Amino acid sequence: MNISKTLITKEQIAEKVRKLAARINADYNGAELVVIGILNGSFIFTADLIRELELDIKVEFMGVSSYKDGTKSSGELLITKDLQLDITAADVLIVEDIIDSGATAKLLVETLKSRSPHSVKVCSLLNKQARRVNDFRADYVGFEIDDEFVVGYGLDFAGKFRQLKEIKILEEV
């Protein structure tokens, strides 16, 4: 695998994080918010986003997947790390690195809604609409991207490249 051009610079990311946080701050207008970062890919985005929020927040992380064989959604949500916090009556913001097929995100929202929160919204840094298999739409989206395999800023390939400060396209050699 070879990293090719930079798709999104660290400056573009920082500006987008500020803009997303401003929208979230306005929408929640001082309410307490439970922010749930989805592991592993969103940990850097989650950290940067919460530092820009001007709300009372609680931060949690979840590990989830709907891909049993790694390529096709099973239609069931596999929770590899669950919440420690009771979200009953809470305003919840799920933070994702990327939404492509929408399968996992849709199942996650349904699962969390079954726990009786006041509200559930999704913020995704990247949206890959070309791969969508359902009608799922995030409430907050940083960047729309084409159907490219991207790494950096938390996104990986086989556990590598998460530390890159920019989002880059990964191509086969």
Active site residues: 100
The DSSP annotation for 4-67 comes to EEEEE-HHHHHHHHHHHHHHHHHHHTT--EEEEEEETTTHHHHHHHHHH--S-EEEEEEEEE--
CA angle 94, 14, 27 (to 5 degrees): 45
Q: Which residues contact 171 (CB under 8 A, 6 or more apart)?
A: 1, 2, 3, 4, 149
- Do the beta carbons of residue 128 and residue 155 sit within 8 Å? no
CA atoms within 13 A on the CB side of 125: 30
Q: State the DSSP code for 163.
A: T
